[in-house]
């Protein structure tokens, strides 16, 4: 199974670029930028990670990204993610970034997006990996700040495929950002929002995503299984879920294999992703692997999850068909190469 997963051509749709900052790179950047850190070795940084819910993770995540200051820093960060992703068989990625987490520290929007965009261009040329960029708003900041950043992004809108919503969900429902997302839609952006696992109002937030925002996708969203009608609605509207097994494990002590299998059986387009791999210590293949082990998943189920990702990616039908064919060819050649 491990070999099968490693070779699968994959799409990753839920990956925060700031969540790919490895401890070694964090130390290198702190050194380059003359920033003092609390911990001085990669091991000490990893030991300091002690997450058991969303706020405890977010505190480490925002603290780590303080070392990102220049265009080159964002370029290097993004290049390293693409190198790792390409080595794991990712052929297409839709990458989140959190501009407010940088502008609030005095780093210009242009610095952030230019570095990320330059890395996307180089990754296409040098690694053959295609990607899209999704700008997330921080839901624990105001709707006014989100709107301001939406306007700030417009000169770069040809570099951005969609907008998302992340950070601390408690008391920050989708409806708080309804106007911002309506405006984003007018500018042609695709829409997604986090509905993290086991939040105070998970079901209400999923309902708002459908009825008030009209999202194209939901990030996480596994709690939808608790409401049959909501689940049917999701299937009916063809809205996919970008699920992150290892990230979920920190909150619910399970890789949510039962939930993922139920979602597949109900026809929900559920996908596997890594979320913040440098913090959760697992990139996409490890997410597939632990899921397959916990749920004793078949190769067919793994292929279904991979197909779903290309299906719900924000790509044209023609491009999707090319990726799906590549996937089909891989599965056929893997099966024929296995000696029974």
Q: Mark residues 272-311: x for contact with Zn ion by CB under 5 A, - for none.
A: ---x------------------------------------
Binding ligand ADE (rule: CB under 6 A), the pick from 12, 166, 208, 259 is: 166
Compute the half-sphere exposure of residue 285: CA atoms within 13 Å on the CB side of its CA. 16
Q: How many residues bind ligand ADE (CB under 6 A)?
A: 11
The DSSP call for residue 297 is -
For the bound state, the minimum distance from the C-beta of residue 196 to Zn ion, rounded and expressed in Å, comes to 8
For the bound state, the minimum distance from the C-beta of residue 137 to ligand ADE, rounded and expressed in Å, comes to 11
Q: Which two tokens stand for residue 152?
A: 């700030």
Task: Name which of 130 and 275 has its Cβ closer to ligand ADE.
Answer: 275
CA distance 243 to 161: 20
Q: Mark residues 230-249: x for contact with ligand ADE by CB under 6 A, - for none.
A: -----------------x--
The closest alpha carbon to 137, from 179, 172, 165, belongs to 165
Q: Of all residues in this chain, which one has the CB nearest to ligand ADE in the complex?
A: 166
Binding ligand ADE (rule: CB under 6 A), the pick from 276, 280, 306, 320 is: 276
Calculate the dihedral angle through the C-alpha atoms of 175, 246, 100, 37, rounding to the nearest 10 degrees.
150
CA distance 89 to 9: 5
Task: Name which of 256 and 315 has its Cβ closer to ligand ADE.
Answer: 256
Site for ligand ADE in 33-72 (CB under 6 A): 54, 61
Structure-token match 């997410």, residue found: 287
- Residue 167 interacting with ligand ADE (CB under 6 A): yes
Compute the half-sphere exposure of residue 108: CA atoms within 13 Å on the CB side of its CA. 6
Q: Mark residues 8-27: x for contact with ligand ADE by CB under 6 A, - for none.
A: --------x--x--------
Task: Name which of 166 and 259 has its Cβ closer to ligand ADE.
Answer: 166
The DSSP call for residue 211 is I
- Which does residue 19 touch among Zn ion, ligand ADE, none (CB within 5 to 8 A, set by kind)? ligand ADE
CA distance 298 to 288: 11
Query: 208 CB contacts (<8 Å, ≥6 apart)?
Result: 173, 174, 175
Site for ligand ADE in 206-225 (CB under 6 A): none
Q: Which two tokens stand for residue 270?
A: 């559920």
Binding ligand ADE (rule: CB under 6 A), the pick from 12, 22, 88, 196 is: 196
Q: Mark residues 94-133: x for contact with ligand ADE by CB under 6 A, - for none.
A: ----------------------------------------
The closest alpha carbon to 78, from 42, 120, 108, belongs to 120
Task: Name which of 166 and 208 has its Cβ closer to ligand ADE.
Answer: 166
- Residue 92 interacting with ligand ADE (CB under 6 A): no
The closest alpha carbon to 330, from 306, 312, 301, belongs to 306
The DSSP call for residue 104 is T
Q: Mark residues 240-279: x for contact with Zn ion by CB under 5 A, - for none.
A: -----------------------------------x----
CA distance 90 to 288: 13
Question: Between vectors from CA 217 to CA 212 and to CA 222, what angle results, nearest 5°?
Answer: 95
Residue numbers of the site for ligand ADE (CB under 6 A)?
16, 19, 54, 61, 166-167, 194, 196, 247, 275-276
């Amino acid at each position: 199974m491990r070999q099968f997963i490693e070779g699968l051509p994959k799409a990753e749709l839920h990956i925060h670029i700031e969540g790919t900052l490895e401890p070694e790179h964090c130390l290198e950047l702190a050194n380059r930028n003359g920033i003092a850190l609390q911990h001085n070795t990669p091991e000490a940084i990893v030991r300091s990670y002690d997450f058991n819910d969303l706020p405890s993770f977010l505190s480490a995540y925002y603290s780590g990204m303080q070392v990102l200051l220049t265009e080159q820093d964002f370029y290097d960060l993004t290049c390293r993610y693409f190198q790792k992703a390409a080595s794991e068989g990712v052929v297409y990625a839709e990458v989140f970034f959190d501009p407010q987490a940088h502008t609030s520290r005095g780093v210009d929007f242009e610095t952030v997006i230019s570095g990320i965009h330059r890395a996307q261009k180089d990754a296409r040329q040098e690694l053959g990996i295609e990607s899209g960029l999704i700008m997330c708003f921080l839901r624990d900041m105001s709707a006014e700040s989100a709107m301001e950043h939406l306007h700030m992004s417009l000169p770069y809108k040809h570099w951005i495929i969609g907008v998302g919503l992340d950070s601390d969900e408690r008391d920050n429902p989708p409806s708080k950002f309804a106007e911002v997302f309506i405006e984003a839609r007018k500018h042609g952006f695709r829409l997604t929002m986090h509905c993290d696992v086991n939040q105070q109002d998970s079901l209400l937030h999923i309902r708002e995503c459908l009825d008030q925002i009209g999202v194209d996708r939901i990030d996480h969203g596994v709690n939808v299984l608790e409401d049959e009608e909501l689940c049917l609605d999701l299937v009916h509207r063809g809205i996919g879920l970008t699920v992150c097994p290892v990230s979920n494990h920190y909150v619910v002590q399970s890789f949510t294999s039962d939930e993922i299998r139920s979602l597949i059986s109900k026809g929900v387009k559920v996908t596997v992703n890594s979320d913040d791999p440098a913090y959760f210590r697992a990139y996409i293949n490890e997410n597939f692997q632990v899921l397959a082990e916990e749920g004793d998943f078949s190769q067919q189920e793994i292929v279904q999850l991979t197909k779903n990702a290309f299906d719900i990616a924000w790509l044209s039908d023609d491009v999707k068909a090319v990726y799906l064919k590549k996937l089909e060819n891989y599965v056929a050649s893997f099966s024929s190469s296995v000696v029974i």
